Amino acid sequence: MISLPGIAQQKNKFTTQPAVLAIIKKNLADADAQYKVLATKLKPGEFPKTYHPETDKQENSNSGWWCSGFYPGTLLDLYQETHDKALLTEADRILAVLAKEQYNTHTHDLGFMMYCSFGTANRLNPSAEYKQILLNSAKSLSTRFNPKIGAIKSWDAKPSDFVVIIDNMMNLELLFWATKVSGDSSYYKIAVTHANTTIKNHYRADHSSYHVINYNPETGAVQEKKTAQGFANESAWARGQVWGLYGFTVMYRETKDKKYLDQANNIAEFVLNNPNLPADKIPYWDFNAANIPNALRDASAASIMASALLELCKYTNKADGARYFNTAQSIIKTLSSPQYKAEAGTNGGFILKHSVGHFPAGTEIDVPLTYADYYFVEAMKRYKAFAIK
């Protein structure tokens, strides 16, 4: 998601590598071409979801799918880098399709859907229309907050359940933006309360996270701690760990409260010190998957981790900052290799291969995913920013 300048002070300085900057320049040019291919595979009203290489089948969604914001967000981020007007034209087209989701109160993913898209559009070209769409989106998201539980509901379930997933940390940035723009502190308070409840109930002693917490909506008591997309209830689902890493880095940026910096650092240490983290830093889809070292890797988790570490490295101590920066740099290089980066014109137009969506459900397994591309592009842009300071 978008980093706002001046919110938290950068303490550390890092040296980018010319070879990595050259790789990134080529990656962004290649991604421009890929996303023009991807655009040809969409019917009006459709958003890209994934591509199945073994059957050459494209899978698309409607605007209500939680990933709908990543495609326009990536188009706009690439346009900022390449100035290719074709990308801007396509972004404008698909944003018009997405706009109605500002009133969607049946999802917690409005941060992903609307801030990654309209938030990016508003940063590049501020407008009253974008601002209102984002404020309406924040208002819709806030309707899912339960003050008794102290959290935003993730999934609609039976009345006796109030389900919150770790992914929801990624939707709070929209609420911080809304308070800054509107002056209404209620959005800020909801974000902080949700984050505090997440620290209390989602995290284990080793700083790994459960995927799903089910609360009693009447009492606020925890009823279940479990997984949906991970290997097991007590396992560490890789993407869930890095959603938290990214989310608590944003929390520190927006509040300057050290407990969120501590939380982000603790999550980073769990991930980076994990004996099951491969040497190339591309995580297995779950840190406790049964068939490690033969378990599938998740490029989406790697992309999110790289982007998060390239922000967190600015706020922490010098030694940790250097480690985070170097890890992110390594991830970018690995994801840029033919093993993960698709050849031009292949992969359905997606940039990266080998992500894992929902392994237990048997969906989106070892395929490209829009959020892997989005956070890969964001990580590359964040890396480039260190070179021009």
Partners of 213 in beta bridges = 164, 225
Residue of 56, 38, 60, 40 whose CA lies nearest to 48: 60
CB 213, CB 202: distance < 8 Å: yes
CA-to-CA separations, 176 to 254, 321, 333, 335, in angstroms, rounded: 7, 25, 32, 31
239 annotated to bind ligand: yes
Enter the tokens of residue 291.
Answer: 């068939």
CA-to-CA separations, 243 to 6, 20, 51, 165, 268, in angstroms, rounded: 23, 25, 23, 10, 11
> What is the C-alpha separation between 47 and 58, in angstroms, rounded?
11
Enter the tokens of residue 326.
Answer: 């170097």
167 annotated to bind ligand: yes
User: What amino acid positions are annotated as catalytic residues?
Assistant: 109, 167
Identify the three-state secondary structure at position 246.
Answer: helix
Vertex 18: Cα angle to 15 and 19 (nearest 5)? 125
> Residue positions in the annotated binding site?
109, 167, 227, 239, 243
- Residues in the annotated binding site for substrate: 109, 167, 227, 239, 243
